Structure formats: C-alpha cells, structure tokens
Amino acid sequence: MKVVANLVFLLISIISVSAWAVPGDDKYNDADVIYANFKMTKYIAALDRYIVSSGKTKLSRAYGICWKVQKPLHKVMYITKKGLKNINPGVTDADSLFFAEDSFMSDMSVFFLDILLKEDRKLYRDFVLNRDLKHEILLLTPRSANLALFLKSIEVKYKNELIDEITFLENSNSYTKILFSDLVVTNEKGLSNEVYCHAYD
C-alpha cells in the first residue's frame, strides 16, 4: 500500500507553514458542547486484525474534541486546531505532548474536528465533498495525490443532523470505523481550555 506522501516539499523545504485557520460557519455556537459515547474498530487488512477501543467524547467549536478511551486501556486525548495531545492525570497542559512532529496525525485530527463541526468550507480545500442529503451521508475524497496515498476516502453518516458514524478507508481496504451513540448537545458557558478536557470524567 502506498502510505508515504509525496516528498517534493523536502526538495524545496524552505517553506513557512501558512496559516491554516479559516473563519468557520455558525452551525454551532461557541458555547455548544456535544457529548457522546464511541466505539472504534480499526481493521488491519494485511494482518486481518481488529483493534477495538471504546469510551466517550465531547466536542465543541471553541475547545475542540476531548477523546477519552476507556477500553482496553485508559487514555485521554485532546484535539484542538493545533493538533492532538495526551492528557495525563497530574500533568499540566504545558507538559502534555503535542503531536506537532506528526503532521499527518495533527492534520487528520483537524479534519476530524472539521467533519464533526460540519466545516464544509474548510474541508473543501482538501477533499471533494459528496453529500447525500436523503441518506444523510457525506463522502470525502482527498484532492491531492499525497493525501490520497494515506487515505482513500472518509464516509460520514448522520442521524437527525447529528454525527452517527465515521469510516476512514485506506487503499488497502484497511479501515477505522467509529460509531457514536447517546449524543447530547448542551450549552456550557465559562469553560476554558484548561478545564475542558482535563476535568472530563
């Protein structure tokens, strides 16, 4: 399988990283927080192995995604527009690991955030978007060849306009499927980055 993105940029790697942020739409208010449970199944085709994990998550436009794995191990991951970091008990935010070195994981985290927030305008830059309104399905196909090496497509299923299922499909028929359940939208004011994911039980 072709995993490694094209490396032309290394030939011309004299480049500054351009600003990524684009003003979003207003489907969700900054204070809206979506709570959900998840079950993730990662299928590795070459090994014919399934890696299953489950837990709960919360999502907001202002603070990002807090991803709490409860099985088979305990792990809290926090995704912002800057990328992903681990939240460990007793560890301050400053000491948490940012996956700045792993740009793919960071980018994918941001895509994930944009998908959950329905930030179509941002996604459009990197994906061809096909929306099946009748069945509430959104199919995203990577525009650039180097992203396509990593990812064949992303299929997002909604139920009553809320996220229900996401499948990341690789070229080798390996995939990662996430099922959401028990979604609740709340309006919480006065949150901060510090407490949003650190204090999530």
Partner 1 sequence: MPMTKVLTNIMLLRLLSVLLFALMVMIGSYRANMSDNPIDYSLDALFPKYDNELADFNYFKDKIAKQFVFLVISDEEEKATNLIISLEEMLDSIQGIRPDIYIDTDELRDFYFKYRYVFANHPYVCDGCSKNQKNVKGFKDYILNAIYSPFGGYTSHEIQEDPFLTMRSIIGSDFKRFKLTKLGIPYVEYENRNIYIAYGVIEKDLSVEELNQLYTATLELQQLAHTNMMNLIFTGEPYYVQAVRSDIMLDMENIGLISVIVIVLTMLLLYRGLLPLVYTTLTLGIALISGIMAVVALYGNIHVLTIAIGGCLISICTNYCIYIYTLVKPSRNAKDIRSLLVKPLSISLIISIIAFVILGITDLAVLESLAVFVSVAFIMTYAFVMLFLSSILSSNVPSTTLAKTLFSVLMRIPKALIYIIIIGFVVCSVTVIYLKNGSSHKEQITKAVNVQNLNPQFKAMTASVHELLAGYQNIAYYVIEGKDLDDALTNCYDIYSSLTVKERVNSFFPCKIVPPKARQITKIKEFKEMYPILEEIFAQNNLSIAERAKPLSVRPFTYEEFPKDLSLFFGQNSVLVQINADNGKLLRILEESKYATRMDYRSYLHKVYEKYNRIMVYSLLITLILVVIALIPLMKKQVISLVILPSLVGALSATLGFMYFTPIMFNMFVTLGFFMLFALGINYCIFIYYINKDNIIDILQGTTVACLIIISSFGAMMLSYSAMMLSFGVVVFFGLIGMLLTALMLRVSYKKEEFNDIS
**Residue 14 lies near partner 1 (rule: CB under 8 A):** yes
DSSP labels, the chain? ---SPP-HHHHT---PPPP------SSS-TTEEEEEEEEEEEEETTTTEEEEEEEEEEEETTTEEEEEEEESS-EEEEEETTEEEEE-TT--GGGSPBTTS-HHHHHHHHHHHHHHTT-HHHHTTTEEEEEETTTTEEEEEESSHHHHHH-SEEEEEEETTEEEEEEEE-TTS-EEEEEEEEEEEEE--S--HHHHHHT--
The distance of closest approach from Cβ of residue 16 to partner 1 in the complex, given in angstroms and rounded to an integer, is 4
Specify the stretch interacting with partner 1 by CB under 8 A; choose among 77-85, 127-135, 181-189, 190-198: 77-85
Specify the stretch interacting with partner 1 by CB under 8 A; choose among 47-55, 131-139, 157-165, 187-195: 47-55
**Residue 109 lies near partner 1 (rule: CB under 8 A):** yes
Question: Residue 20 or 185: which CB sits closer to partner 1?
Answer: 20
Total site size for partner 1, rule CB under 8 A? 67
**Residue 129 lies near partner 1 (rule: CB under 8 A):** no
On whether the CB atoms of residues 49 and 23 are closer than 8 A, the answer is no
**Residue 3 lies near partner 1 (rule: CB under 8 A):** yes
Residue that is written with structure tokens 């400053």 in the block: 94
**Residue 63 lies near partner 1 (rule: CB under 8 A):** no
Question: Residue 51 or 199: which CB sits closer to partner 1?
Answer: 51
Residues in contact with partner 1 by the rule CB under 8 A: 1-18, 20, 38, 40, 42, 44-47, 49, 51, 53, 67, 69, 73, 75, 77, 79, 84, 86, 88, 97, 99-109, 111-112, 125, 143-147, 149-150, 166, 168, 170, 172, 174, 176, 178
